[in-house]
Chains A and B, each alone.
Chain A
């Protein structure tokens, strides 16, 4: 069955890439029976990736969001089977009242499970929970040359490994069986602790890691002098005295996508406004210094009610650089980062860090170190700054998150991902015609 296609302009969420292409939105499973074998294609979920991973000028984007059904749930075996187009928010609505949740979830409820697998996302406590791949028991993958394949660590383990964190380049992920975790309580007690000196961050994260159920930090990179990078450590712990409370998630609705993110013609962030913005946010965090209870939904998806933040960057958009740096190299990285920020007078609107643990594999964003994400508006200076960060990483043993940066150059990926060639070889061995393509895959020579 053919699905209607339409011409469309698609944008990366950060506003950096805009491409005229075609897309389709199949809604019946017969769509996979009779594929056009020569059409270049790529799967698309919520379209919230910062990099242009779900579209390309010469590939049809297949929107999976009509395939969003829950196919099976085994409370005793703690597994959930879903179609790949299902949004995290819908999974949450199903699991939470039954006393379960997904241990690893990125910050917005519209993101789809297919997107989580393809980009191997991390959650609020990567050092303890790992990345999304670790919670995928098995998946079904479609490729026009191979049909529908069942993949797991036991069945086709090599292709399973390539697909989890394969950026959608091995095929369309149709469905997945996921491990779910017993929910200790529907509420999280959030403690916000001041962190006056960012140089103490690695130690603070390491010492909080064992006791916290969720953990990250926020920093002010617009502050001057010794205050540069001061911030807060944000720890979440289950409210265990509410363990018996049945969670009834309230309805949520989001219209955030890459198009309406750029709804405002002009951006609001610049060198003048970003300092007061950070000061305001800091005041908000300071008010929360007494531990407070949050619904798990609000803690897991902190972005869902702060969507205006992304819109304030205006049509031109923003950069998010997310990098992982070994703990030993973190002070040096911070010093160089600060020098570049001050030299270019870059208005950093957000800086946030997490502790990471894991084994580096292929092009997945994991490993041991401190993960630092920073946001700043797109401008002439911002491109120079991003290039400066690219240059810092290889020497310090750090590496960037491919999905968070729509301009990341091939040279940086080659220099920072030791298994880049291996990923390419395995991908080409499985799909010699390279039918699945995105702007990101072409930019990175995948």
Chain B
């Protein structure tokens, strides 16, 4: 039974790969650059003696052959889980991106994930029990003047995973949504953040502990649930003055 992690080369995805390997799960790691995957796979095989495969593809590739990709995944054995901590953000996503950049952001954060999940869905349902996990962002809680397209795509992803959870009712598949606060990754490196950044390793431990649990939506770290509530409840007269 294999667990697929898309976006495994760095950040939360890499931490999750390490945590699941530590727990003895065979893995199939996917990301854009095969070199990162091969280095990580070598490390996990040596340290945890688990089977680790790699698959390089780009979620934002408009020419991607999703059924063929699903067939490749199927060749790695029955699917126990599909984790999608992949994402793409840009520091200049402040409202002036060209059409091609906007499409790439939406494809990487939403369209590609929707296409992949659709193609892999039968494999997930075929397993006696399986987990599908999507990863949202604190940025999508309330639209701001930064991360404009990224936040919109992540908001769409939340809707997608709500629907998928509903669709999976009655099957052995648990659809989980992780809402991610500030993690100490490349995405936040060098940025001034209002609140401290959590370690991706701690977040990964929580995600891995919830494998095969019907947990719905979970905040990482958990305290960000209340921060999100606060941001949502903030009156416009206050929110409009904030620069974050």
Q: Do A and B come from one complex?
A: yes
Q: CB within 8 Å of B: which residues of A?
A: 3-7, 24-30, 66, 69-73, 83, 94
Task: List chain B residues, Cβ under 8 A from A71.
Answer: 39, 42-43
A26, A29, A30, A70: the one contacting B47 at CB < 8 Å is A70
CB distance from B186 to the nearest CB of A (A): 5
Bound CA–CA A3/B187 (angstroms): 10
Annotate B140-171 by CB proximity to A: 1 below 8 A, 0 otherwise: 00000000000000000000000000000000
Bound CA–CA A263/B173 (angstroms): 49
Task: List chain A residues, Cβ under 8 A from B189.
Answer: 3-4, 6, 24-25
CB distance from B14 to the nearest CB of A (A): 8
B35 and A3 form a contact (CB under 8 A): no
B14, B33, B186: the one contacting A3 at CB < 8 Å is B186
The verdict on B233 contacting chain A, using a C-beta distance below 8 Å, is: no
Identity of the chain B residue whose Cβ is nearest the Cβ of A86 in the assembled complex: B43
Bound CA–CA A28/B46 (angstroms): 20
CB distance from B173 to the nearest CB of A (A): 31
A69 and B10 form a contact (CB under 8 A): no
B10 and A27 form a contact (CB under 8 A): yes
Identity of the chain B residue whose Cβ is nearest the Cβ of A94 in the assembled complex: B47
Task: List chain B residues, Cβ under 8 A from A25.
Answer: 186, 189
The verdict on B241 contacting chain A, using a C-beta distance below 8 Å, is: no
A94 and B190 form a contact (CB under 8 A): no
The verdict on B134 contacting chain A, using a C-beta distance below 8 Å, is: no
B10 and A4 form a contact (CB under 8 A): no
Task: List chain B residues, Cβ under 8 A from A94.
Answer: 46-47
Of B39, B42, B185, B189, most A-chain CB atoms within 10 Å: B189
Task: List chain A residues, Cβ under 8 A from B181.
Answer: none
A29 and B42 form a contact (CB under 8 A): no
> Known contacts A3-B186, A4-B91: does B43 contact A28 (CB below 8 Å)?
no
Dominant secondary structure of chain A at its interface with chain B:
mixed
> Known contacts A4-B91, A29-B33: does B42 contact A69 (CB below 8 Å)?
yes
Bound CA–CA A73/B49 (angstroms): 12
> Known contacts A28-B9, A28-B33, A29-B35: does B43 contact A69 (CB below 8 Å)?
yes
> Known contacts A6-B190, A66-B10: does B46 contact A72 (CB below 8 Å)?
yes
B9, B10, B46, B185: the one contacting A73 at CB < 8 Å is B46
The verdict on B5 contacting chain A, using a C-beta distance below 8 Å, is: no
B46 and A29 form a contact (CB under 8 A): no
The verdict on B11 contacting chain A, using a C-beta distance below 8 Å, is: yes
Besides the known contacts A28-B186, A94-B46, A94-B47, 12 further A-B residue pairs in the complex with CB atoms under 8 A apart: A4-B190, A4-B191, A5-B190, A6-B191, A24-B189, A26-B186, A27-B9, A28-B9, A29-B35, A30-B36, A66-B10, A73-B46
The verdict on B40 contacting chain A, using a C-beta distance below 8 Å, is: yes
> Known contacts A27-B11, A28-B9, A66-B10: does B186 contact A4 (CB below 8 Å)?
yes
B10, B35, B36, B42: the one contacting A70 at CB < 8 Å is B42
Identity of the chain B residue whose Cβ is nearest the Cβ of A73 in the assembled complex: B46
Bound CA–CA A83/B185 (angstroms): 19
Bound CA–CA A30/B40 (angstroms): 14
Task: List chain A residues, Cβ under 8 A from B91.
Answer: 4
Of B11, B33, B91, B186, most A-chain CB atoms within 10 Å: B186
CB distance from B60 to the nearest CB of A (A): 15
- Can you name 18 A-B residue pairings with CB atoms under 8 Å? A3-B189, A4-B91, A6-B189, A6-B191, A24-B189, A25-B189, A27-B185, A28-B9, A28-B186, A29-B33, A29-B35, A29-B36, A30-B35, A66-B10, A69-B42, A70-B42, A70-B43, A71-B42
Bound CA–CA A351/B36 (angstroms): 45
A5, A28, A72: the one contacting B10 at CB < 8 Å is A28
Task: List chain A residues, Cβ under 8 A from B33.
Answer: 28-30
CB distance from A117 to the nearest CB of B (A): 19
